[in-house]
Amino acid sequence: MDYTTRLKPSRCRTSAVPGRSFNEEMESDRGRAVNSAALRRLQQKTQVFPLQINAAVRSRLTHSLEVQQVGRHISKIILARLSTAGQLDTLGLHGLEEGFICAVETSCLLHDVGNPPFGHFGEKAINLWAEKVLCSEYHRRFPGTREDLLRDLCNFEGNAQGLRILHHLQALNLTHTQLACLLKYTRSAAEEAPAHTAPFSYLKKKPGYYISEIPLIKEIGRHVAISPDCRFPLTYIMEAADDISYCIADIEDAVDKNILTVQRLHQLILSTWRSFKEENPEVIAADYLPKISEEAFTHFTVEEFNKDSAYILGLRTKLVNDLCEYAAQRYIDNHEAVFAGNFDESLLDGSDEYHFATETLRRIALEHVFCTPEVENLELKGYAVISGLLNIYSPLIELEGFLFEQLCHNGDLPDHPIESRLFHKLPKKHKEAYSRAIDELPSSSSAQWEFYHRCRLIIDYISGMTDGFALAEYRHLKAID
């Protein structure tokens, strides 16, 4: 294992400041991320509860900041243990530690930038619209051809969209290392999901990129020496940091919103933990998570002020620290597979107490938070907004190719006033990304590809909106006061 083959300062376009070291380039990536519009928009995108005025409830941005801190902590534990074992030199990591940590932190900051308004229900709205509108239009125009393009369009996924935003829309020109860190899943949206028993079934359980980004994926793989279907090693750390953060965050937000009381949460932890008894009786009998919850609940009962916070703080501090230590050790214990990128599971998987702790909290969130009327009503509202906006912009999809070309060239179609006005509302960066893609098309299959990139143009715009802007735009275009 030689990390100098993975941690590279190269970029897709030549850096404006040549000759910088790997550590310096990673610091530059961090600066680009922090100052990007894509990151800023996360402050008005939902984590669980959309359109919140309560600042204590997490947005995607505050969640990403928490993930960043956890990712930094795991990285420092890994590097400290490798240093203690005298392995930094032999692994080629000596002198690259700062860049290693920075790459993980930046990937943690950016991991959610591709999520649409209203979270996972926004994703569902986009995919249902694609299956209904895009499939019908595509089959009308191109019967029996390039079904892979259609599968790709019907598989919107936040991780894949994030890569597209950062590279093609925002054009941040991040290093190949940083882009590789963000590739959480290793199949394209045009591929079918593999069977659970197939190789790379975990790494390919969701789409990680679109057909439009395949040339970029190949370029990244060449520069950081990652084989097809494999994951970049630092991505495992980012994923673990995300999993650790949201398993606590969703529960804490539910307490802040009075969806769960501390007393109810404490009882749910005890009962849910013990529901795993058949899977591993010995581990469950040791009561790892119940003991943490009992100790936190003791703080809750004796605390005079901020009783809920005392419980959550006790639960979170112990669990997050333990899970960080666990994820770091799993990284080291499976180092060769992680380095190669063929370790086909999460760092938090397994059958021990730490895995069951995260599963307990995840199940409580699924069964007692996400399914509550408040959350489901917000999801339905989000679905109405996103599907409504996509339907409003559908005339641009239904326009014949030669007419859309004229619209792009002239900026107006006198005989198509609705389409012209919708086109005027699309952001300049999105239209420029579409034009670049069209300019690069081979003439042999330009019609299908033009339709594909036009669909991406509309999806890019709607999925990039914040919750509040999407709602306001929907009301505006539907003439709702």
* Bridge partners, 181 (sequence order): none
DSSP letters, 416-431, are -HHHHHHHHHS-HHHH
Task: Of 81, 37, 182, 153, give the one whose Cα is nearest residue 390.
Answer: 153
Instruction: From the candidates 111, 167, 187, 416, give the one annotated as an active-site residue.
Output: 111
184 — phi, psi (to 5°)? -70, -35
Instruction: From the candidates 63, 266, 316, 456, give the one annotated as an active-site residue.
Output: 63
Task: Of 351, 386, 363, 391, give the one whose Cα is nearest residue 465.
Answer: 386
The span from the CA of 253 to the CA of 374, in Å, is 13
Residue 481 annotated among the catalytic residues of the structure: no
At 100, is the secondary structure helix, strand, or coil? helix
Task: Of 463, 452, 442, give the one whose Cα is nearest residue 210.
Answer: 452
Instruction: From the candidates 29, 112, 250, 460, give the one annotated as an active-site residue.
Output: 112
Residue 32 annotated among the catalytic residues of the structure: no
Residue 112 annotated among the catalytic residues of the structure: yes
DSSP letters, 310-361, are HHHHHHHHHHHHHHHHHHHHHHHHTHHHHHHT---S-TT-SSSHHHHHHHHH
C-alpha 307 chain-centroid distance: 33
* Bridge partners, 59 (sequence order): 46
User: Token match 């990937």: residue?
Assistant: 107
Residue type, 263: Q
The span from the CA of 386 to the CA of 378, in Å, is 12
Residue 416 annotated among the catalytic residues of the structure: no
CA distances to 46, 70, 109, 314, 370 from 55, in Å: 12, 21, 19, 22, 20
Q: What is the dihedral of CA 128, 132, 138, 140, to 10 degrees?
A: 170
Task: Yes or no: say if 462 and 116 are a contact pair by the CB < 8 Å rule.
Answer: yes
Residues 6+ apart with CB under 8 A from 461: 393, 426, 427, 430
Token code pair at residue 417: 């006033």
Instruction: From the candidates 421, 424, 436, 475, give the one annotated as an active-site residue.
Output: 421
Instruction: Convert 256-283 to b/e letters by CB count within 10 Å (16 or more is b).
Output: bbebbebeebbebbbebbeebeeebeeb
Task: Of 155, 216, 154, give the one whose Cα is nearest residue 183.
Answer: 216
Residue 242 annotated among the catalytic residues of the structure: yes
Which are the catalytic amino acids? 63, 111-112, 242, 421
